[in-house]
């Protein structure tokens, strides 16, 4: 046994993970170079070596949850890519206007066939609300209804959906509440399908960056979009939302959140899944909103992202045969690592999910929190 393997085994013991053990969360190594690769390359190398088939686990989600819960990741030195991301965060605005459509092209435009088989029937790519739901479809519908109730959405209201995805909320709000919705996205594939799904409804879907907005709305909602805004742009994002919101309006921000303020994301996630993304902290969001909005309500339900992601993984694996010829085996392993690793992150409470309701700073109305 070489020194790299010996060190790796000792580190994994902290999380009660055995190399080539028999428990579902144990790690099975198929390439002896795995140990040195991961010790030298950190989380990026761990993900890439899984994509390359160098190791496996029957319960990848539980293995990663144990790693995160025991801070094993901090026992391995940062990879050079972490240093590069840090330097980029200092000197560049990775989410500047000229790069606004990058995330759409690289992630959301991967293929509507992929997302169609993975997501619920309403095509909602965000955390469901499982308080009473028994399946993914109901969890997503309950989430949409919860948003409508928190916004006190009424017939005829003009609503802005920043980061509208495939039109899940826009369609629900128009059909169930009679709202007039403008949805914006930076994904051509999303825009095309959202327009088709919202045909014959009072919904307008635009391929548009949020920085180009300058019109008034009764309500604003943004679900799973601020994760792509970047810490250098949070204040501008809030300023634009404040400019577009009517004096008596409400703004609901639904976002994954970090426990600590950061300036960049995990290097594997940045390279393969969400380029230039980062999770905001409550401090960063509150500072960006200061003097523009009042924070009326904060609802944390990150525990529901674990079952959401596990449901997406089941749908993805069951439907894989239908799309495998287009995407290939390495993509299959990459996508499962993303889904199950994300589930592990929520299970271990490393990241959170918040719904934040904001009102204009000078509003005199009184808001009453909604949960059910």
Phi first, then psi, for residue 233 (nearest 5°) are: -120, 0
Residues 314, 168 within the same domain: yes
Residues 103, 192 within the same domain: yes
Residues 323, 266 within the same domain: yes
Asked if residue 314 is part of any domain, the answer here is yes
Dist CA 191 CA 323 (whole Å): 22
Boundary-marking domain end, from 43, 77, 111: 77
Q: Which domain holds residue 64?
A: 3-77
- State residue 368's pLDDT score: 93
Q: What is the CATH number of the domain that holds 344?
A: 3.40.50.150
Residues 71, 200 within the same domain: no
Boundary-marking domain end, from 24, 45, 77: 77
Find out whether 148 and 176 touch, Cβ atoms under 8 Å: yes
- State residue 148's pLDDT score: 98
Find out whether 205 and 195 touch, Cβ atoms under 8 Å: yes
Residues 134, 206 within the same domain: yes
Residues 20, 118 within the same domain: no
Asked if residue 164 is part of any domain, the answer here is yes
| Alpha-carbon 264 to chain mean position | 14
Residues 197, 311 within the same domain: yes
Asked if residue 136 is part of any domain, the answer here is yes
Q: Report residues of the chain scoring pLDDT below 50.
A: none
Asked if residue 90 is part of any domain, the answer here is no
> Which residue shows structure tokens 């960049």?
264
Asked if residue 269 is part of any domain, the answer here is yes
Which structure tokens are listed for 279? 């999770």
Count of domains for the chain: 2
Asked if residue 287 is part of any domain, the answer here is yes
- State residue 187's pLDDT score: 98
Residues 190, 48 within the same domain: no
Residues 191, 237 within the same domain: yes
Residues 103, 179 within the same domain: yes
Dist CA 346 CA 64 (whole Å): 11
Which structure tokens are listed for 16? 């009660």
Asked if residue 190 is part of any domain, the answer here is yes
Dist CA 303 CA 299 (whole Å): 12
Dist CA 136 CA 116 (whole Å): 13
Asked if residue 250 is part of any domain, the answer here is yes
């Amino acid at each position: 046994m070489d020194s790299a393997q010996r060190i790796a085994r000792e580190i994994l013991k902290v999380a009660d993970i055995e190399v080539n053990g028999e428990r579902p969360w144990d790690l099975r190594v198929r390439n002896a170079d795995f140990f040195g690769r991961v010790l030298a390359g950190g989380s990026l190398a761990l993900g890439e070596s899984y994509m390359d088939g160098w190791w496996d686990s029957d319960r990848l989600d539980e293995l990663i949850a144990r790693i995160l819960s025991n801070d094993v990741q901090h026992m391995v030195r940062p990879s050079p890519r972490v240093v590069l991301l840090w330097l980029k965060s200092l000197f560049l605005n990775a989410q500047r206007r000229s790069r606004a459509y990058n995330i759409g092209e690289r992630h959301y435009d991967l293929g509507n066939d992929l997302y169609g088989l993975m997501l619920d029937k309403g095509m909602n790519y965000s955390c469901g609300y499982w308080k009473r739901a028994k399946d993914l479809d109901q969890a997503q519908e309950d989430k949409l209804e919860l948003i409508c109730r928190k916004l006190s959405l009424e017939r005829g209201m003009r609503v802005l959906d920043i980061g509208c995805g495939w039109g899940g909320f826009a369609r629900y709000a128009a059909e169930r509440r009679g709202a007039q919705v403008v949805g914006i996205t930076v994904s051509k594939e999303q825009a095309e399908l959202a327009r088709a799904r919202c045909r014959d409804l009072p919904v307008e879907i635009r391929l548009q960056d949020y920085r180009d907005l300058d019109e008034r709305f009764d309500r604003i909602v943004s679900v799973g979009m601020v994760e792509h805004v970047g810490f250098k742009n949070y204040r501008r994002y809030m300023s634009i939302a404040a400019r577009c919101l009517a004096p008596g309006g409400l703004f609901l921000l639904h976002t994954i959140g970090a426990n600590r303020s950061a300036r960049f994301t995990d290097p594997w996630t940045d390279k393969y899944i969400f380029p230039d993304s980062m999770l905001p902290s409550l401090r960063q969001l509150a500072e960006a909103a200061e003097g523009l909005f009042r924070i009326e309500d904060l609802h944390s339900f990150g525990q529901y992202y674990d079952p959401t992601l596990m449901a997406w993984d089941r749908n993805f694996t069951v439907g894989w045969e239908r799309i495998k010829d287009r995407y290939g085996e390495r993509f299959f392993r990459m996508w499962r690592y993303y889904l199950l690793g994300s589930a592990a992150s929520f299970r271990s409470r490393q990241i959170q999910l918040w719904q934040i309701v904001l009102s204009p700073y000078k509003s005199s109305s009184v808001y009453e929190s909604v949960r059910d």
